[in-house]
Amino acid sequence: MENKYRKWFGEKRGWKALEAFEEKGWKTYYAETLEAARETLLNTCLPKNVSVGLGGSETLGALDILPVLRSADYRLFDRYNCADHFEVCRESLAADYFITGANALTVSGEMVNLDCSGSRVAAMAYGPRKIIVVVGINKLVNTLEDAIARVHAIAPMNCKRNNHRTPCVENGVCTDCNMPARMCNHLLITFNAKKFEGKYTLILINEDLGF
Ligand code: SF4
C-alpha cells in the first residue's frame, strides 16, 4: 500500500533536487507516477523521427516504451533485439537521443553511474545529442559519497539481473572480484551539465523503481 508520508517526503526532496539539477544546466521534470513520466517522456521530451539509443534499465522496462520506440516513428538502436550487441551499443553513441535510467542522484545535482562494458556511461558522457534520464525517487541520496556507496551496494543485484557469473550472485556480497564477468568497471560522475546547454533532461518519478 502506498505510504502517504513517503510520497510527501519524496515530493519535497524531489523538487529540491530538481532545483539543483536545473541550476547545473539540466532540463527537469517531476512526475508523481510512472504513467505521468511515460507521458512526459513520449509527448514532451522525445520528438518523433529521431534515432534513439537505450541504456539497460529496469526503470525503462517498467515504462514499457519499447513497443513505441520500435514503431516507424523512431529509428531505434535496439539493444534487446539485435545480432551484434556490441555494434548496436557503438551505433547508439551517435544517436540523436539516448534514454536511460541512472544508479544514483544527489540532492545537490550530481549523477553517479557504474557500468560493466562502459557503453551506457560512454553515451551519457559524450556522443548522443540529447540524454534523457528517467529515474525513481529511491535513487536519490544526500551526498556524493552516499551516491558512490549506493552504486556499489546495488551492484550484486545488477549482476543477478544480467545473469553474470560473479561471486556476488552466489551470496549477495561483493568481493571486488577480478574476472571477465565483473560488472563494476566504469564509474561516471556527472557533476554539471552546462557544457552543452539543453543536452541533459531528467525525469524524476516519485515512485521506487529499479533498485
Ligand atoms: S566487483 Fe564483482 S563481486 Fe563486487 S559487485 Fe561487482 S561484480 Fe559483484
CATH of residue 102: 3.40.50
Cα-to-centroid distance, 152 and ligand 1 (Å): 8
Report the alpha-carbon distance of residue 159 to residue 114 in Å, rounded. Answer: 12
Ligand 1 in contact with 158 (CB < 6 A)?
A: no
Dihedral (Cα; 129, 133, 134, 137), 10-degree rounding: -160
The parent domain of residue 135 ranges over: 4-108+124-141+189-205
- Residue 181 beta carbon below 6 angstroms from any ligand 1 atom: no
In a domain, 169, yes or no: no
Does the Cβ of 177 fall within 6 Å of ligand 1?
Answer: yes
Residue 100 lies in a domain: yes
Query: How many domains does one find in the chain?
Result: 1
Would residue 179 count as lying in a domain? no
Taking the centre of ligand 1 as the mean of its atom positions, its distance from the CA of residue 176, in whole angstroms, is 5
Q: Do the beta carbons of residue 29 and residue 204 sit within 8 Å?
A: yes
Is residue 98 assigned to a domain? yes
- DSSP letter for 28, please: E
Going by alpha carbons, the residue nearest to atom 1 of ligand 1 is: 176
CA 137 to chain centre: 12
Predicted pLDDT at 1: 67
For every residue of 185-208, DSSP letters joined together read -EEEEE----TTTT-EEEEEESS-
Let me know if residue 181 belongs to a domain: no
Measured from the CA of 169, which atom of ligand 1 is nearest? Answer: 8
Low-confidence ranges of the chain (pLDDT < 70): 1
- pLDDT for 2 equals 75
Dist CA 168 CA 174 (whole Å): 5
CA distance 171 to 174: 9
pLDDT digits (tens, 9 = 90+) for 139-157: 999 999 999 999 999 999 9
* 129 in a structural domain: yes
Instruction: Verify whether ligand 1 is closer than 6 Å to residue 176 (CB atom).
Output: yes
C-alpha cell, 149: 556507496
Distance CA 69, CA 100 (A): 13
Atom 4 of ligand 1: nearest residue by CA position: 174
Cell triple for residue 33? 507516477
Residue 146 included in any domain: no
Return the residue whose CA atom lies nearest to atom 6 of ligand 1.
Answer: 184
The gap from C-alpha 55 to its chain's centroid, in whole angstroms, comes to 7
Kindly report the pTM of this predicted structure: 0.96
Q: Is residue 149 part of a domain?
A: no
Question: 154 in ligand 1 pocket by Cβ < 6 Å?
Answer: no
Single-letter residue type at 139: K
- What is the gyration radius of the CA atoms in the chain, in angstroms? 17
Question: Which residue from 22, 28, 4 is spatially nearest to 205, judged by alpha carbons?
Answer: 28
End-to-end CA distance of the chain: 18
